[in-house]
Amino acid sequence: MTHAEFRRGEFVVSTDPELISVDRVHEFLSRSYWSPGVGREVVERSIRHSLCFGLYREEEQIGFGRVVTDYASFGYVADVYVLEEWRGRGLGKWFIECIVAHPDLQSLRRLLLATRDAHGLYRKIGFKELAHPEFHMERRPQGWREP
């Protein structure tokens, strides 16, 4: 796996796992709409088993995202965020562009994601609604409730 780094002015996107603050990621994800109350150990395990991207301004982590992938044909983009105080500066779009540009993801035939409210952002990067949603299925644990 290739560690990648992208720069734009004072901002850096890096896949160096040593730079990621699990505490900061957990703090954000545990109050997000898609994983409210998620445990720190779950966040830590998800980071360990994904290709992770940190968005930084100097030494401060201001964003995070990850791709769950086999590095051959499929990837799932998950847990992408930019802290609220840094939004509205084009960083989210640039962050996603960096994620999809990672050299180790270029052979993938499909990159999926789910979002409740950022469809417009992802469309700008080339994501589209599923061509055949009827082909896709999901399995959830008994008693699972949508957050």
pLDDT tens for each residue of 87-96:
999 999 999 9
Spans of all domains in the chain = 5-135
Please tell me the predicted confidence (pLDDT) of residue 50.
97
> Is residue 26 classed as helix, strand or coil in its secondary structure?
helix
Which strands make up the sheet holding 11-14, listed edge to edge?
Answer: 5-8, 11-14, 51-57, 60-69, 74-82, 110-113
> Could you tell me the pLDDT band of residue 3, with boundaries at 50, 70 and 90?
confident
**Beta 60-69 vs 11-14: how paired, if at all?**
unpaired
> Could you tell me the pLDDT band of residue 21, with boundaries at 50, 70 and 90?
very high
pTM flag (> 0.95): no
> Can you tell me the distance from the alpha carbon of 53 to that of 66, in angstroms, rounded to the nearest whole number?
6
What is 5-135's CATH topology? Aminopeptidase (3.40.630)
Q: Are 64 and 25 in contact (CB under 8 A)?
A: yes
Q: Are 127 and 91 in contact (CB under 8 A)?
A: no
> Could you tell me the pLDDT band of residue 142, with boundaries at 50, 70 and 90?
confident
> Can you tell me the distance from the alpha carbon of 86 to that of 31, in angstroms, rounded to the nearest whole number?
17
> Could you tell me the pLDDT band of residue 146, with boundaries at 50, 70 and 90?
low
Termini Cα distance of the chain: 34
Query: What tokens appear for 45 in the block?
Result: 């395990």
AA letter at 31: R
Please tell me the predicted confidence (pLDDT) of residue 118.
93
In this prediction, residues 66-94 reach a mean pLDDT of 96
Query: What tokens appear for 4 in the block?
Result: 């990648």
